[in-house]
Amino acid sequence: MRTLAIETASEACSIALFEGDDPIARDHRVLGRGHAEALVPMIAALPGKGRSERILVSLGPGSFTGVRIGLATARALGFAWGAEVLGYPTLALIAAQARAAHPGLDVTVCVNGGHGEWFVQDFGADGRAEGLVASLAPAAAAARPLAAVIAGSRAAELAALVGDGERTVLPLLPEATAVPLGDLSLFTSALTPIYGRGADATPMAERARA
C-alpha cells in the first residue's frame, strides 16, 4: 500500500510518500507562510504524482491556516483518488521524532501557539499522550512539571525559562517522514482540527444573549 503523509501545522510544509512502511520520497521546506501555494506542487512532484491508497494528514494544533490547508488538500485528493484519509495529532508526531532520538524517555512537546502562548503536551515513553494539549503563556508553561526531553519549535525557549541544564532539548519541527505508520491508535477518520484553545471571537449568538 502506498501512503502519502501531509504535515502543514507548523512553519514547515512537509510531505512523504511511503511504500508499505518504507519512505520512498519526501519534501520538507521551512516556509513560515505560503503553504497553500507550495503544497500541491510538492505533492505533484512525487513519484506517480503522490497517488496513494491512504492519506495521513496533520490535525494540529499549530497554525490554524496550515492545518486547514492540509485538511482541505487531503480531503480533495482522497475524493479524487478514492483513498482513505486519516488524521493524526501533530504534537504526537513531534514526540515520536524525539523518542526516535532518545528512546525510553518521556517527552514534553512545546510549539508555537497563538497570541504569545505556546501549545504544550506531555507524552510517555510509550508515545501515549499524558493529558490534553494546553495553550499557556510562557511563564505558565515553565511553571508546570516537564519531562526529561523537551521537543518542538519552542523547546529551547522553554528550557531557558526553566533554567535546568540537565534536560535534553530538541528544537524540532514536525517531519512527515517520521509519521509512525504502525501506531494505529494515533489515527482517526474524524478529520476535526485540534485547535488547542478556544475561539478568539465571541459568536454573534452569544453576544446577543449577553
pLDDT tens for 129-174 read 999 999 999 999 999 999 999 999 999 999 999 987 789 999 999 9
Residue 59 is assigned to a structural domain of this protein: yes
* Whether residues 83 and 95 fall in one domain: no
Q: Residues of the chain with pLDDT > 70: what percent?
A: 93
Q: How far is it, in rounded angstroms, from Cα 89 to Cα 2?
A: 21
* Whether residues 77 and 114 fall in one domain: no
pLDDT band at 202 (very low <50, low <70, confident <90, very high): very low
Domain ranges, residue 42: 2-90+174-186
Contact 191, 57 (CB under 8 A): yes
* Whether residues 86 and 8 fall in one domain: yes
* Whether residues 51 and 76 fall in one domain: yes
97 CB-side CA count, 13 A: 21
pLDDT band at 208 (very low <50, low <70, confident <90, very high): very low
Residue 208 is assigned to a structural domain of this protein: no
* Whether residues 6 and 24 fall in one domain: yes
* Whether residues 82 and 181 fall in one domain: yes
Question: 2-7 and 54-58 as β-strands: parallel, antiparallel, unpaired?
Answer: parallel
Q: In angstroms, what CA-CA distances link 157 with 6, 13, 59, 162?
A: 27, 22, 24, 9
Per-residue model confidence as pLDDT tens digits over 168-188: 999 999 999 999 887 888 899
Q: What CATH number is attached to the domain comprising 154?
A: 3.30.420
Indicate the DSSP class of residue 126. T
| Mean pLDDT along residues 49-61 | 98
Q: What is the pTM of this model?
A: 0.90
Residue 110 is assigned to a structural domain of this protein: yes
* Whether residues 85 and 180 fall in one domain: yes
Q: What CATH number is attached to the domain comprising 58?
A: 3.30.420.40
* Whether residues 108 and 156 fall in one domain: yes
Q: How far is it, in rounded angstroms, from Cα 210 to Cα 208?
A: 6
Q: How far is CA 95 from the centre of its chain?
A: 10
Residue 80 is assigned to a structural domain of this protein: yes
Q: Return the C-alpha cell found at 106.
A: 518521556
| Average confidence score pLDDT of the chain | 91
* Whether residues 113 and 182 fall in one domain: no
Per-residue model confidence as pLDDT tens digits over 58-82: 999 999 999 999 999 999 999 999 9
The helix or strand, by DSSP H or E, that contains position 172, with its residue range, turns out to be none
Q: How far is CA 92 from the centre of its chain?
A: 7
Beta carbons within 8 Å of 69's beta carbon, 6+ residues apart: 8, 35, 36, 39
* Whether residues 126 and 59 fall in one domain: no
Contact 180, 90 (CB under 8 A): no
**In the prediction, which pLDDT does 209 show?**
43
Residue 46 is assigned to a structural domain of this protein: yes
* Whether residues 84 and 70 fall in one domain: yes
* Whether residues 86 and 178 fall in one domain: yes
How many domains does the chain contain in total? 2
Residue 198 is assigned to a structural domain of this protein: no
Residue 6 is assigned to a structural domain of this protein: yes
Residue 135 is assigned to a structural domain of this protein: yes
In 3-state terms the chain splits into helix, strand, coil percentages (rounded to 5) of 35, 25, 40
